[in-house]
């Protein structure tokens, strides 16, 4: 049956099935939503909002049509190029992160008109799916790339081939969807008056039971979604779907600037509790005690906050005594080089968070925060005998797989969303 039977790649009819998963739009019509809206206009109260609905979907579509598809087609003759293709274009694939950041705003606007204006458009166009069903396709696609590469990795491992580049490609395509999910959650935050993009990268997000203590007043514990950015901690209240809200979201409640932040690990000796404190300009302190039933989550937060505070202290020391700071850093770096651990030891380290500041500085994407996705790669199979029957079968199947994959994602110029 072969090692590609999961996707039935040897069956030519699988192409259209895979296309349904990977194309931005799943319907093929003479004109789509964007073309119709541009040609006929939109309701008066929707003017100015229509651009938000589609975000940067046209940018994603055009890049796949004009460039990425062609590069994938080259992998038919040279399948070993596939991993490097995703590694090389990691930054470009962050177009999906931008799209996901806009997605909550898009969902809100579409929900206002889904039973009126967009229902009329659907009937006019003869579409089976609603607009919001089509707009979720880019989010689904970014996950499909990850699954594709994971399957390639599995087949490479089984065939005893070098998997180093594929492991990197899988890491990239696990990291990008993670960022997409982060940005969708941040985009659902309501009531925050500052500029969220000015707060730096999102390092952690989790739901805690939070008790707030201002002076001697102690509030009762409340469920809060807490976001840790490089410059700010945000406390928000999850919107209760039971009260009629169809779209998940969060309402801003409080925040702590990193410059005013303090940390208390293991409150009352409990490893499942830690406290974040906010120092006011008048010397007052507000204390937030965070509790999670998962100890690993608390460890990850304490570790990340400690790292941020240490970076802040180093920055202030550098400003106050730049010469002394440089002298200490130079000495530290010199010692670091002489005491550098072997690569095998470094590879075993785990980062504090899968959303740490620079993915390329991480030995892996595995994280001690169990609420975030972890990357578990299969071990390599040590063999150099590429003449084995399963290896020959793999090489033949790989060509068929890549060829079918590239054919299946060929963009359709007359898609249901995009203009002709």
Strand partners, 212: 288
pLDDT of residue 71: 87
Which spans in 67-225 are helix H?
69-77, 82-88, 90-93, 95-113, 117-125, 131-135, 137-158, 164-187
Distance in angstroms (rounded) separating the CA atoms of residues 350 and 364:
7
54 Cβ partners below 8 Å, 6+ apart?
A: 34, 106, 135, 417
CA-nearest of 183, 175, 210 to 351 is 175
Q: Is the pLDDT of residue 404 over 90?
A: no
What is the pLDDT confidence band of residue 241, given thresholds at 50, 70 and 90? low
Lowest mean pLDDT among 25-39, 133-147, 367-381: 367-381
pLDDT of residue 359: 47
Q: Is the pLDDT of residue 245 over 70?
A: no
Distance in angstroms (rounded) separating the CA atoms of residues 418 and 420:
7
The residue ranking higher by pLDDT, 320 or 233, is 233
Strand extents, DSSP E, 294-381: none
Quote the mean pLDDT of the chain: 75
386: three-class secondary structure by DSSP = coil
* 143-198: pLDDT as tens digits: 888 888 898 899 889 989 999 999 999 999 999 998 898 888 898 899 999 888 89
Q: Tell me which H or E stretch contains 198.
A: none
Distance in angstroms (rounded) separating the CA atoms of residues 258 and 279:
10
Lowest mean pLDDT among 128-137, 199-208, 338-347: 338-347
126 Cβ partners below 8 Å, 6+ apart?
A: 29
- With a pLDDT cut of 90, the percent of the chain lying above it is 31
pLDDT of residue 392: 53
Task: Tell me the pairing of strands 189-190 and 250-257.
Answer: parallel
The whole-number average pLDDT for the span 341-364 is: 38
177 CB-contact burial (10 Å; exposed 0-12 / middle 13-18 / buried 19+): buried
Strand partners, 28: 415
Chain centroid offset of residue 341 CA: 31
Distances (CA, A) of 301 to 46, 83, 393, 417: 42, 33, 47, 41
Q: Is the pLDDT of residue 77 over 60?
A: yes
The whole-number average pLDDT for the span 324-331 is: 76
* 369-387: pLDDT as tens digits: 433 333 333 334 444 444 4
8 Å CB contact between 178 and 372: yes
What is the pLDDT confidence band of residue 41, given thresholds at 50, 70 and 90? confident
Distances (CA, A) of 11 to 59, 122, 409: 32, 33, 16
* 259-283: pLDDT as tens digits: 999 999 999 999 999 999 999 888 8
The whole-number average pLDDT for the span 247-261 is: 91
What is the pLDDT confidence band of residue 412, given thresholds at 50, 70 and 90? very low
pLDDT of residue 232: 96
Lowest mean pLDDT among 36-50, 116-130, 342-356: 342-356
Q: What would the 3-class secondary structure string for 3-14 be?
A: CCCCCCCCCCCH
The number of helix segments (H) and strand segments (E) in the chain equals: 16, 9
400 Cβ partners below 8 Å, 6+ apart?
A: 4, 9, 10
The residue ranking higher by pLDDT, 144 or 347, is 144
pTM for the structure as a whole: 0.63
Instruction: List, in order of start, the domains of the chain with CATH numbers.
Output: 14-190+377-408 (1.20.900.10), 196-290 (2.30.29.30)
pLDDT of residue 231: 94
pLDDT of residue 261: 96
What is the pLDDT confidence band of residue 40, given thresholds at 50, 70 and 90? confident
Given the structure tokens 């651009």, which residue do they identify? 51
For 55-94, give one letter per residue: b (16+ CB within 10 A) or e.
bbbeebbebbbeebeebbbebbeebebbbbebeebbeebe
Strand partners, 183: none
Q: Is the pLDDT of residue 96 over 70?
A: yes
Q: Is the pLDDT of residue 30 over 70?
A: no
């Amino acid at each position: 049956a072969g090692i590609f039977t999961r996707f039935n790649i040897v069956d030519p009819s699988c192409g259209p099935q895979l296309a349904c998963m990977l194309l931005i739009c799943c319907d093929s019509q003479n004109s789509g939503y964007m073309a119709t809206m541009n040609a006929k206009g939109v309701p008066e109260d929707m003017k100015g909002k229509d651009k938000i609905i589609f975000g940067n979907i046209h940018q994603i579509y055009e890049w796949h049509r004009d460039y990425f598809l062609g590069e994938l087609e080259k992998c038919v003759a040279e399948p070993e190029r596939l991993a490097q293709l995703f590694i090389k274009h990691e930054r470009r694939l962050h177009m999906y992160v931008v799209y996901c950041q806009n997605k909550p705003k898009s969902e809100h606007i579409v929900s206002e008109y889904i039973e009126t204006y967009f229902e009329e458009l659907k009937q006019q166009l003869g579409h089976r799916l609603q607009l919001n069903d089509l707009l979720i396709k880019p989010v689904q696609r970014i996950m499909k790339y990850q699954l594709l590469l994971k399957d390639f990795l599995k087949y490479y491992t089984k065939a005893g081939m070098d998997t180093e580049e594929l492991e990197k490609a899988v890491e990239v395509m696990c990291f990008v969807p993670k960022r997409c999910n982060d940005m969708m959650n941040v985009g659902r935050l309501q009531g925050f008056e500052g500029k969220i993009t000015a707060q730096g990268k999102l390092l952690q997000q989790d739901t805690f039971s939070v008790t707030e203590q201002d002076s001697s007043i102690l509030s009762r514990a409340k469920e809060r979604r807490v976001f840790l950015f490089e410059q700010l901690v945000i406390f928000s209240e999850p919107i209760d779907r039971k009260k009629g809200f169809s779209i998940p979201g969060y309402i801003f409640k409080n925040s702590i600037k990193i410059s005013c932040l303090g940390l208390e690990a293991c409150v009352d000796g409990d490893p499942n509790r830690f406290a974040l404190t906010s120092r006011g300009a008048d010397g007052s302190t507000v204390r937030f005690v965070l509790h999670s039933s998962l100890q690993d989550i608390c460890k990850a937060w304490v570790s990340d906050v400690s790292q941020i505070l240490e970076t802040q202290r180093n920055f202030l020391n550098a400003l106050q005594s730049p010469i002394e700071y440089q002298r200490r850093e130079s000495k530290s770096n010199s010692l670091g080089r002489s005491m550098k651990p072997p690569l095998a030891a470094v590879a075993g380290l785990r980062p504090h968070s899968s959303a740490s500041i620079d993915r390329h500085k991480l030995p892996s994407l595995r994280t001690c925060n169990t609420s975030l996705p972890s990357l578990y790669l299969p071990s390599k199979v040590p063999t150099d005998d590429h003449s084995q029957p399963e290896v020959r079968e793999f090489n033949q199947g790989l060509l068929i797989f890549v060829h079918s994959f590239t054919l299946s994602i060929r963009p359709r110029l007359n898609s249901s969303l995009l203009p002709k």
